[in-house]
Amino acid sequence: MSSTRDPAFDALLHPFADGALRWPAEGALFLRAREGAALHAVGARAFAATQPFKPEAERLERIGVELLDEDSLPERAFPLVLVLPPRQREEARALLAKACAACAPGGIVIAAVANDEGAKSREADLKQLAGALSVQSKHHCRTFWTRPDASFDAGLLAQWLKADAPRRVASEDVPGGGFLSRPGVFAWDRVDAASQLLAAHFPGDPGSSPGQVLHGRVADFGAGWGYLALQVLARCPRIASLDLYEADARALALADENLAGASVPVHCHWHDVERGVTERFDAIVCNPPFHALGRGERPDIGRAFIASAANALKPGGVLWLVANRHLPYEDALADGFASARIVAQQAGFKIVHAVKS
């Protein structure tokens, strides 16, 4: 059971703990569910859930939760739908619309958002969809839910169900002039500046030093929608295959589409890199995340990515990594690699080249 404090999750379930709401015997649907103490405290019965973030999905599966595809939920099927909306507006609106579409007649949709994460905006969104709401404040969060007699706005529901749909984003920095993306994934509407800087330093020339060049089996740890993998394909002619590892299922599906025309075999893995990988590679590229589902910095995630890369590389294999300049990764690099050097520092980022012994 997770011991990390989760105020929005606790606030979401508080109305059930204090008797304001009752968990239905027929079960429920929980969109972007997270496993935690509050869930165990209310004694919730079996429920179905969605969770595209692999570490959280694994925690839910371990307690027997059935995971559903968020983009193909049954309509009007659940007497209770719980939602933990994300920060991004279009993604959050789409998720609230999916909750309302999945709610059975006479059922309730309930959501909770931290006050500093856009709680009033999300409350206003649900009010637009469903009319009058009940509201409760707890743990510096707002919890709000629909009335049993709510009548959902059909036109707005149809519009918002498509609010986070995949769409083409134009970009001169991507082969083909653009990429497929959707609201809510990291850097969804642009090329991330750190990844762009890393790609500019890829040693693609076949005459480059063997200790630098990207060749053979290459992996992208934390691949997102696939930008770095696309740049590896475009810049590095000696690669034999590409493996993409990404914890966000929504981003990974986009990467799979964006790499569909690759000239080498591509394998996409919905995987938490912090847990390590079983395959072995000649080179790894990486722009590791330093946040999880919250806003606080998590340099431990980047250190875990570096350790996983060290274990996954063959002797003499190379790691090309970009990170914010202030993040403390030097000890992790020293522990896992025979050599590590900063190739460039620019615009607040550092480019690191490391070689496995």
The token duo for 261 is 């025309």
pLDDT of 336 > 60? The answer is yes
pLDDT at site 40: 78
List Cβ neighbours of 277 (8 Å cut-off, separation of 6 or more). 219, 245, 269, 271, 308, 311, 312
pLDDT, tens only, 89-105? 999 999 999 999 999 99
List Cβ neighbours of 225 (8 Å cut-off, separation of 6 or more). 179, 180, 181, 185, 186, 187, 188, 251, 254, 255, 258
Whether residue 248 lies inside any domain: the answer is yes
Q: State the angle between helix axes of 227-235 and 193-200 in degrees (0 to 180), rounded to the nearest 10.
A: 20
CA–CA separation, 241 vs 248, rounded Å?
Answer: 22
In the chain, the number of structural domains is: 2
Sign of CA dihedral 329, 330, 331, 332: positive
pLDDT at site 200: 94
274 and 126 inside one domain: no
pLDDT at site 296: 65
pLDDT at site 289: 86
pLDDT at site 46: 78
Say which CATH number the domain at 20 has.
3.40.50.150
Other CB atoms within 10 A of residue 202 CB: 21
329 and 182 inside one domain: yes
- Please say which residue of 104, 139, 161 terminates a domain: 161
CA atoms within 13 A on the CB side of 43: 6
Whether residue 197 lies inside any domain: the answer is yes
- Report whether 139 contacts 112 (CB < 8 A): no
List Cβ neighbours of 56 (8 Å cut-off, separation of 6 or more). 33, 34, 35, 293
181 and 115 inside one domain: no
120 and 249 inside one domain: no
Instruction: Name the more confident of 240 and 5.
Output: 240
pLDDT at site 36: 85
Q: Mean pLDDT, the chain, as a whole number?
A: 93
Other CB atoms within 10 A of residue 33 CB: 25
pTM of the complete model: 0.93
The token duo for 133 is 């709401």
CA–CA separation, 181 vs 169, rounded Å?
Answer: 7
Least confident of 208-222, 288-302, 305-319: 288-302
pLDDT of 274 > 50? The answer is yes
144 and 173 inside one domain: no
30 and 102 inside one domain: yes
pLDDT, tens only, 154-210? 999 999 999 999 999 999 999 889 999 999 999 999 999 999 999 999 986 555 555
**pLDDT > 90 in the chain, percent:** 85
pLDDT at site 290: 77
Query: Residue 1: which pLDDT band, with cuts at 50, 70 and 90?
Result: very low
90 and 187 inside one domain: no
157 and 214 inside one domain: no
pLDDT at site 205: 59
CA–CA separation, 38 vs 88, rounded Å?
Answer: 25
- Report whether 350 contacts 344 (CB < 8 A): yes
pLDDT of 4 > 80? The answer is no
Mean pLDDT of 218-235: 97
pLDDT, tens only, 42-75? 777 779 999 999 999 999 999 889 999 999 999 9
pLDDT of 341 > 70? The answer is yes
90 and 130 inside one domain: yes
pLDDT at site 299: 84
Instruction: Name the more confident of 107 and 203.
Output: 107
Mean pLDDT of 240-253: 98
List Cβ neighbours of 126 (8 Å cut-off, separation of 6 or more). 96, 109, 111, 133, 144, 146
156 and 201 inside one domain: no
CA–CA separation, 244 vs 219, rounded Å?
Answer: 6
Domain of 50 in residue numbering reads as 7-161
- Please say which residue of 108, 127, 161 terminates a domain: 161
157 and 233 inside one domain: no
125 and 103 inside one domain: yes
The token duo for 53 is 């973030």
Whether residue 2 lies inside any domain: the answer is no
